[in-house]
Amino acid sequence: MRIFGLLLAAIVLIALPFFTTGYVIYLANILLTFTVLCLGLHIVIGEAGQFSLAHAAFYGIGIYVTGIAGTKYGLPFPVTMLIGGVAAAAVGFVIGVIALRMRDIYLALATFAFGEAMQWLFQNWDAVTGGPNGLRIAPAHLFGHEFVTDKDAYPVVVLFALLMIGLTILISRARLGRALRAVRESEVAAQAMGIPVQRAKLLAFGLSAFFAGIAGGMFTLFSTFIHPESLGFSTTMLALTMVVVGGLGSIGGAVGGAIVFGLISELLRQAPSFQEIAYGLILIIFMMYAPKGLFAFLADKFGRARHG
């Protein structure tokens, strides 16, 4: 079943550019970018249990830093993306240091405030970000080859999405992943097992921001323009909804949630004024009736139906 699913996903990913048009490829690029964004949120919230509501800010840092490194300084794209990811991670560490002193609702509020502050910075630091007018992003390039269209960017976006999924699985299976879950489940017990809880939280924040930064870099591969309006709380909310809808604490849930909910949100774009209400409603409904997420909910229903 699982192998079949993976095979199907591989076939779809490979066949997509041969059978579809620009819009579908653009959509695929966006969904894969959101997948990586969600994986970052999965690490900090799903694995380590630390509420972070500043994900859009790290995503934004990734976009601006990668975009500026490519556009202004003409660096080739893998380098620009790495710089973007590292810059986001560095800011994530700093936020982590502050966040270590708080928990639960206070942590949520503090990270929310940071996210808002960063958006304000994106909107007002005209010299660097272009301010409210946004920033034009030059096409990424490598060895003289330019990535101009969505189709050009697509293979690279797929590659990065797969790399980041692989990295998430690796972390989750490893000692680090177990340590993060231990911190989520019981800090005092984690400490007694020799896990430096503060350092584990810091790492979770840093890694989560790194993933968001890489997602930002992926965005610059197929986009020519970034507007700070799209880097506010609604984007954090969108990623959070995706992770919760998919199933908090599971990698499959984060990926599935990003894709399923990404499609829903694309449909909702026709009615932007209802968009956030719809996100909120879906989030509330899932938290009430399917707190383990869409896929666990379906498996549960499906399993029950099968077993009578």
Q: What angle do CA 79, 12, 169 make, to 5 degrees?
A: 55
Q: Return the residue of 1, 3, 175, 272 that touches another protein, per CB under 8 A.
A: 175
173 binding another protein? (CB under 8 A): yes
How many chain residues bind another protein (CB under 8 A)? 23
Per-residue DSSP letter, 224: S
User: In terms of CB distance, is 55 or 184 closer to another protein?
Assistant: 184
Helix (H) / strand (E) containing 250: none
Judged by CB under 8 A, the residue of 12, 163, 170, 299 near another protein is 170
Q: Where are the beta strands (DSSP E) in 13-139?
A: 135-136
> Residue 225, SS3?
strand
Residue 158 token pair: 């797929």
Q: How far is the CB of 300 from another protein (least distance, A)?
A: 15
Secondary structure letter of residue 147 according to DSSP: E
Nearest approach, Cβ of residue 181 and another protein (Å) = 6
In the complex, what is the shortest distance from the CB of residue 51 to another protein, in angstroms, rounded to a whole number?
A: 17
For residue 225, count other CB atoms closer than 10 A to its CB: 12
Site for another protein in 239-268 (CB under 8 A): 249
Min dist CB 74 to another protein, Å, is: 36
Per CB under 8 A, which region of 26-34, 61-69, 118-126, 183-191 contacts another protein?
183-191
Q: Is 135 helix (H, G, I), strand (E, B) or coil?
A: strand
Closer residue to another protein (CB): 194 or 272 = 194
Closer to another protein by Cβ: residue 218 or 254 = 254
Q: Which stretch binds another protein (CB under 8 A): 70-78, 182-190, 214-222, 269-277?
A: 182-190
What's CA 216's distance to the chain center, in Å? 9
Query: What is the closest distance, in whole angstroms, from the C-beta atom of residue 187 to another protein in the complex?
Result: 9
Q: Does residue 260 sit in helix, strand or coil?
A: helix
Q: Which of 188, 269, 273, 304 binds another protein (CB under 8 A)?
A: 188
Place of tokens 């500043």: 54
Ramachandran assignment for 140, one of left (phi > 0), alpha (psi -120 to 50 degrees), beta (any other): beta
Cβ 97 to another protein shortest distance, Å: 17
Which amino acid, one-letter code, is at 172?
A: S
How many CB atoms sit inside 10 A of residue 174's CB? 11
Specify whether the CB–CB gap between 47 and 180 falls below 8 A: yes
Say which amino acid occupies 215. A
Task: Please give the single-letter amino acid code of residue 251.
Answer: I
* Beta carbon of residue 3, minimum distance to another protein (angstroms, whole number): 19
Q: Of 51 and 279, which CB lies nearer to another protein in the complex structure? A: 51
Tell me if 161 sits within 8 A of 218, measured CB to CB.
yes
**Rounded Cα–Cα distance for residues 60 and 103 (Å):** 24
Which 189-228 positions form the footprint of another protein (CB under 8 A)? Answer: 189-197
User: Given candidates 28, 158, 179, 255, which one binds another protein under the rule CB under 8 A?
Assistant: 179
Q: Give, as ranges, the residues between 50 and 69 that touch another protein (CB under 8 A).
A: none
Decide whether 144 or 194 has the Cβ nearer to another protein.
194
Can residue 176 be called a binding residue for another protein (CB under 8 A)? yes
- Closest to 242 (Cα-Cα) out of 217, 260, 229, 230: 260
Judged by CB under 8 A, which of 136, 186, 263, 284 binds another protein? 186
Q: State the residues that interact with another protein by CB under 8 A.
A: 170, 173-176, 178-179, 181-182, 184-186, 188-197, 249
